Homo-oligomer: A and B are copies of this chain.
Amino acid sequence: LSGLIDELRTVVEPAHVLTDPDLVGPYVTDWTGRWAGYARAVVRPSTVDQVAAIVRACAKAGAGIVPQGGNTGLVGASVPRGGEVVLSLRRLAEVGPVDLAAAHVRAGAGVTLAQLQAVASDANLRFAVDLSARDSATVGGMIATNAGGMHVLRYGSMRAQVLGVEAVLADGSVLRRMDGLVKDNTGYDLIGLLCGSEGTLGIVTAAQLKLVAAPRFRVTSLVAVAGTASAVSLLARLRSLAPLEAVEIVFADGVDLVCRHAGLPPPFSQPYPCLLVVECAGSTDPTGEMADVIGEGPDVLAVAVASERAGRDKLWSWRERHTETVNALGIPHKLDVTVPIAELAGFERDVRATVSDVAPGSKTILWGHLGDGNLHVNVIGPDPDDDRVDEAVLRLVAARGGSISAEHGIGIAKRNWIGLTRSPADMAAMRAVKAALDPNGILNPGVLFDEGAGRAGSENEGSG
């Protein structure tokens, strides 16, 4: 053990190899509070060469490595399970300059989303992925988890923004595809494979990221409809709007709680079963075409529109304040799922009924990204450690052909349920890829595949 730590102190400045429990604390506890573990050390390199040397040292010692960015993940994949080395990428924080003609920018793994957005904005461009943890979520973590957010409908998830990566592989070699090429059919898409692999196939140290045009106009509509089925039929029409950027869904019970918790007035003079936040953004004013498309439908019960910042923020508030409202009511069971759009209405009905059966007296609040079929299912009431509700919801999702993890990943939290939506052939292929690229299982052991835990990383097995 001390041998490895001594070696790590020759790779990075000793002050960046943390073993003092007071210093290590924030790196070993998940921000949700649900996951925590013991790290034999936290290492904070500042260059890719240091990362490679750390990986080689850990490989030699048989020590597991938990790569960590902003530690804002939701599935327990960024904190140690038992005795791994936490490899914090936050010091790899160089970003820019923006290449204007190619519309991309190089960013180190430790650059936060907020930093990246600021650099893009200064160049009159925009980074297409946005999410609420923007001040702490890092580029490396967002790649490792294939982060989603509000704008996937238009621009795709993180994977679609990554034109290049630099990553350290399990043997300490460095994979470098950093020329920012939009078209490059030279062998396998290892870039896309690393995206969403949750630190189990390689450690991303930098990326070349696509930027998109900053919109000159942005218009938001809050649209009341009779329920999910009406929302889905409106969605089909909305897709004809080229500048469509977000279609979010909330329900009357959630809106009512938000109004009470956050002190907001009701959005309309009367309550409606279901509300959509529809946003368009582009280089010309979309107000007219938006009104035409939304207004055409027989199923639209009420509409409010805003194009100025303050008015748009107000329309968004009934959606955006759901998370804090639910957290204030207790520790929710948070399930982040996708179902095929055609199954959404049936799923919404069933999930409420099923949760009531499994956990009588609990409260189910739903909201999400309608355009992607992505619902956040929040259940308040059952004990946080009781996962019967989680399992019941995920089984419903699987039965309707959905995904048990839309945006957050599998991590530790959902690995026992991965078989619900991934067939044995699929699992065998994924395990084969893992074994091929990390034969000794040192990269984020225990994440995705349950038996990975303990293969590497436990202190007993490590040598120094």
Q: Which of A242-286 contact B (CB under 8 A)?
A: 242-244, 282-284, 286
Q: Known contacts A185-B409, A189-B195; can you find 20 more A-B pairs with CB under 8 A?
A: A100-B236, A100-B239, A103-B239, A159-B192, A169-B425, A174-B425, A175-B429, A181-B340, A181-B403, A182-B338, A183-B372, A183-B373, A183-B407, A184-B405, A187-B196, A189-B189, A213-B241, A240-B283, A243-B283, A283-B289
Q: How many Å lie between the Cα of A102 and that of B369 in the bound state?
A: 13
Query: Which residues of chain B are within 8 angstroms of A179 by Cβ–Cβ distance?
Result: 340, 401-403
Number of copies: 2
Q: Contact mask A205-241 → B, CB, 8 Å, 1/0?
A: 0000000011100000000000000001101100111
Whether a CB of chain B sits under 8 angstroms from the CB of A354 is no
Q: Which of B169, B183, B401 contacts A148 (CB 8 A)?
A: B183
A-B residue pairs in contact (CB < 8 Å), sample of 8:
A101-B236, A174-B423, A181-B340, A183-B372, A242-B284, A282-B282, A283-B289, A429-B437
Q: Contact mask A161-199 → B, CB, 8 Å, 1/0?
A: 000000001000111110111111111111011011100
Is the beta-carbon distance between B410 and A187 smaller than 8 angstroms?
A: yes
Whether a CB of chain B sits under 8 angstroms from the CB of A421 is yes
A interface with B by C-beta (< 8 Å)? 99-103, 124-125, 145-146, 148, 152-153, 156-157, 159-160, 169, 173-177, 179-190, 192-193, 195-197, 201, 213-215, 232-233, 235-236, 239-244, 282-284, 286, 289, 338, 340-342, 369, 371-374, 401-410, 418, 421-430, 432-437, 448
Query: Which residues of chain B are within 8 angstroms of A157 by Cβ–Cβ distance?
Result: 183
Q: Which of B125, B186, B338 contacts A410 (CB 8 A)?
A: B186
User: Would you give the shortest CB distance from A387 to chain B, in whole angstroms?
Assistant: 17
Q: Which of B201, B235, B405 contacts A101 (CB 8 A)?
A: B235
Q: Which of B189, B342, B429, B436 contacts A432 (CB 8 A)?
A: B436
User: Would you give the shortest CB distance from A151 to chain B, in whole angstroms?
Assistant: 12
A283, A373, A405, A422 — most chain B CB neighbours (10 Å): A283
Is the beta-carbon distance between A183 and B403 smaller than 8 angstroms?
A: yes
Known: A215-B242, A241-B213, A429-B437. A373 touches B185 (CB 8 A): no
Q: How many Å lie between the Cα of A185 and that of B144 in the bound state?
A: 10
